[in-house]
Amino acid sequence: MRFRPSPADFHLEEVVRLSLKHGGPCSVDRVHKRGITTLQAQERLAAALGLPGSPVTFPALKDRDARSVQYGTLRCDGPEAVEGKGFRRKRHGECIPEVGGHAVR
Distance CA(91)–CA(79), nearest Å, equals 8
From the candidates 29, 63, 65, 77, which is the catalytic residue? 63
29 included as an active-site residue: no
b/e map 28-64, b = 16+ CB within 10 Å: bbbbbbbebbbebbbebbbebbeeeeebbbbbbebeb
Phi/psi-derived region of residue 23, left when phi > 0, alpha when psi is between -120 and 50, beta in every other case: left
Strand pairing category for 81-84 and 56-57: unpaired
Residues labelled catalytic = 63
